[in-house]
Structure 1
C-alpha cells in the first residue's frame, strides 16, 4: 500500500508541476459523469423502452447533478460563501450545461434520425464532444478557484 501511495504522490506531483492536475481530475470525474449519462440513457432507452429523446433528457439531468458536485468539490475546488453565491454558480453551471445539452440533442438527432446510427454508439460519440465543451465552460465561466 505504501508503494502505491508513493506512486500516486509522484504522479500527482508530476501533473501539478505541469499544471495538468485539474485536467486529469476533470477527465477522471468527467469519465464517471459520462458513465452515469450512458448507463441512465441505456437503461431508460433499452430497459424501460423510452424514446431516445426522453432517455437522453433523463440521462442529462442525472449526469448534470453528479457533475456539478464533483466539479465543484474535487475538480475546480470552488469555494462559495452563502446560498446566494452557490445559487449563482449553479445557475451558470445549468446555463452552460443547457448549451451542451443542445449540442448533445442536436448531435443525437443527426446521428440517430438522419444517419440511422445505433443509439448507443451515437450516445458515446456525442459524449466525447460534450465532455470537451463542458470542460471549457466550467473552467472559463463557472468555477472560481480561491
Structure 2
C-alpha cells in the first residue's frame, strides 16, 4: 500500500494523477469496446458497422460512469444537472464515434486492413480525443 501511496503522491505532485486515472479507466473502456466489437463481429457475425456501434454504446455507458466518479470526481446536485452532463458526454462521444467510424471505413473498406487491427488503431486516436473532450468541455468545472 505504501508503494501505491508514493506513486499517487508523485503523480499528484506533478499534476498527472487525473491523466493516469483517465488512461487507466480509458484502458478498461477500450477493453469493453474491443471485446464487445469482437463478440459482435466475430462470434455473432454482425457487419463491422453494427458491431462497432454496439461496442460504442456499451463503452460510452462504461466511460461515463468511470469518468464521472473516479477520473474527474464530478458531483451533480440534481437529475437535470446529471442529464445535462450526460448529454454533453454523449455529444462529445458522438464526435469521436464519427472519427472512429471514419477511421474504420478508411482502414477496412479502403485499405483492406484486418477489422480487429483497424479497431485497435482507431482506439488510440479515440482515447486521446475523448480525454480532451472530457477534460475541456464536460467535466471541466467539477474536477477536484
What is the TM-score normalised by the length of structure 1? 0.96
Q: Pick one of 102, 105, 110 that aligns with 2:101.
A: 105
Mind listing any 5+ residue stretches in structure 1 that lack a counterpart?
none
Mind listing any 5+ residue stretches in structure 2 that lack a counterpart?
none
Partners of 2:78 and 2:51 in 1: how far apart? 34
Say whether residues 1:61 and 2:45 are aligned partners: no
Displacement after TM superposition at 1:129 (Å): 0.2
May I ask how many residue pairs the two structures share in their alignment?
A: 142
Alignment of 1:1-146 (within 5 A): 5-143=1-139, 144-145=142-143
Partners of 2:74 and 2:57 in 1: how far apart? 21
Alignment RMSD (CA, Å):
0.5
| CA-to-aligned-CA distance 1:73-123 (integer Å, 9 cap, x gap) | 000000111101000000000000000000000000000000000000000
SS in 1 for 2:46: coil
Partners of 1:34 and 1:127 in 2: how far apart? 7
Displacement after TM superposition at 1:145 (Å): 2.0
Partners of 1:140 and 1:88 in 2: how far apart? 15
Displacement after TM superposition at 1:52 (Å): 0.1
